[in-house]
Chain A
Amino acid sequence: MFNRLLLYLELVRMEFVNNLAYRSFYFTGILNYSIQIGAYFFLWDAVYVGNRVIGGLDREAMITYVIIAWVVRSFYFSNLDRRVGTDIRDGKIALELIRPYSYQMVKYARSFGEAAFRMFFFAFPAGAAIYLIRPFTLPVGWDSVAMFVAAVLGAFVINAQISMIAGFAVFFTKSPTGVYKAKRVIMDLLSGLLLPISFYPGWAREIIQLLPFQAVSYLPNMIYLGKIRGAAAFEVLLLQVFWIAVLGFLAHLFWRFAVKHVVIQGG
């Protein structure tokens, strides 16, 4: 058990170090995020004429929401779905069966190493740079900061699990890129990255609240903004734990199916 933990930590470290070597990827990433944040900034700047309040957010809160949402996304985002999907397509998943470790844990650990890299070399510097250009609202108190950090970690795990399941879904489809695109659209829309959930009509909100996606972007952002505080913020963390358990179970079922598929049909 302890030895396995060391292995997963080693994978985190390795992925972190590897990422240092991919500088071109890094710079195109920065460009991409600058464009996204800039575009949404101007969009919302134009939408908020006068002193309007939309979906519980005023102009300042909305602009902060956009910036935080994208900066945090640079942390939790991962290519896990593509990696798992490729392992399945190439039959590499069969070779994973001759290793004494958990395939899923290895993938999560590597994703986390990558996320940690992007946090230090991407999210923090980007956040600071944006703050210098256009100061945005800082959290209202240390309790919000602590809850926000915890919620972002939860967001990482939930996003990774959803990606893992999307990767396994490649088994059932002839079009892996279709799966990745569908996952991306669903995540962008239902997580609250593109539009805060409070902007949706009532019936849509009710559905979205029954799904795990809003725990990835919307809820952590609202904690950052101080719109969710104290006991309510704690409830968000509990909700994340609930979804992590449910998604973990689902991912396990998918993994069992994948193994069985290899084992019956051949790899």
Chain B
Amino acid sequence: MKLIEARGLTKEFRIFSRSEGVMGAFRDLFHRKYRVLRAVDEIDFAVDRGEMVGYIGANGAGKSTTIKMLTGILVPTAGTVTVNGYVPHKQRESYTKGIGVVFGQRSQLWWDIAVIESFKLLRRIYDVPRADFNRRLQQFDDILGLSSFLNLPVRKLSLGQRMRCDLAAALLHNPAILFLDEPTIGLDVLAKSKIREFLKEINNEFKTTVILTTHDLGDIEALCPRVAIIDQGKMLYDGLVDNLFSQWGQDKLEDIVKRIYMGQKPEPGLAGGGVSLV
């Protein structure tokens, strides 16, 4: 049994267009014109417990939409998805106790209250025993260096500090799966390397499964043996990073990914074993 299993996962958005003029507005009341945008287009995706998978794609490729379906925020238009034994959007309250989520673009901590207060509240929200909470907080602090700003409200933190807090917050209840949507966006090299080191250790120690979207291929090279590449909602590649190197006969991941985004195919003959170009 896979920890995450999605089949034919699809999400369509309706993009409504407004008609012009008063009559148009009146007509829109009864019959709004829209077009359908397939943000995620029949992807199959399976992940084992303890894996760290990078999920990359150009802007608007459908990464966040996929994450939102896997976390139960959005209901798929078609396809099936089970995560950790639950159908995310159907069994929200039980399902969400077992996952951690970080959206790099948006903090989930309470804006005006001290970070430590947010953490204490999360302890209650997720029913974390006090001893576990203290132990984890200590451990997170050791790697991420949180103690100097634990007493500040989130609005006073720098982006790097905020992201470290968000990560710690998402892991206080020791979730089976951690979903990270662009966790390193806008961070400096030092903050990035701290976060990478942290994720590595968490994955090592707790066997936490990590799904991570990013535009920084350094994140993938540092953390994820496996990468999934999505473009215009379709899965272009899902396999080992190492296989990409042998398929393309190149040694820079950035060059390979650039070519994949541009729609190029690897030259035949170069392909190594285990090709899995979907």
Contact = CB atoms under 8 A, between A and B. Distances in A.
Interface of A: 3, 6-7, 10-11, 14, 18, 92, 94-95, 97-101, 262-267
The secondary-structure label for the interface of chain B is mixed
A163 B140 CA distance: 39
Contact of A263 (B75, B96, B127): B75
Contacts of A98: 71-73, 96, 99, 101
Given A95-B106, A98-B96, A98-B99, 12 more contacts: A6-B124, A11-B121, A14-B117, A18-B112, A94-B68, A97-B73, A98-B71, A98-B72, A100-B126, A266-B68, A267-B73, A267-B74
Nearest to A91: B106
Given A263-B73, A266-B13, A100 B97 contact: yes
B68 A267 contact: yes
Interface string B90-108: 0011101101010100101
9 contacts: A3-B124, A14-B121, A18-B112, A92-B106, A95-B73, A263-B75, A263-B89, A265-B14, A266-B13
B8 to A, nearest CB: 19
Contacts of B184: none
B96 A100 contact: yes
B83 to A, nearest CB: 12
Interface residues of B, number: 31
B14 A97 contact: no
A10 B124 CA distance: 8
B161 interface: no
Q: Which 7 A-B pairs have the closest CB atoms?
A: A7-B124, A263-B75, A100-B97, A100-B96, A100-B93, A97-B73, A10-B124
B125 interface: yes
A7 B74 CA distance: 26
A100 B101 contact: no
Contacts of B92: 97, 100
Contacts of A97: 72-73, 92, 96
Nearest to A90: B106
Interface of B: 11, 13-14, 39, 65, 68, 71-75, 89, 92-94, 96-97, 99, 101, 103, 106, 108, 112-113, 117, 120-121, 124-127
A65 B74 CA distance: 50
A95 B125 contact: no
A236 B194 CA distance: 61
A99 B96 contact: yes
A1 to B, nearest CB: 12
A263 B106 CA distance: 19
Contacts of B101: 98
Contacts of B113: 14, 18
A27 B188 CA distance: 42
Contacts of A6: 124
B93 A266 contact: no
A97 B126 CA distance: 14
Nearest to B118: A14
Contacts of B13: 265-266
Contacts of A101: 93, 125
Contact of B73 (A3, A14, A18, A262): A262
A6 B125 CA distance: 9
Contacts of B72: 97-98
Contacts of B103: 95
A18 B120 CA distance: 14
A7 B127 CA distance: 9
Contact of B74 (A95, A99, A263): A263
Contacts of A3: 124, 127
B18 to A, nearest CB: 12
Nearest to A15: B113
A23 to B, nearest CB: 14
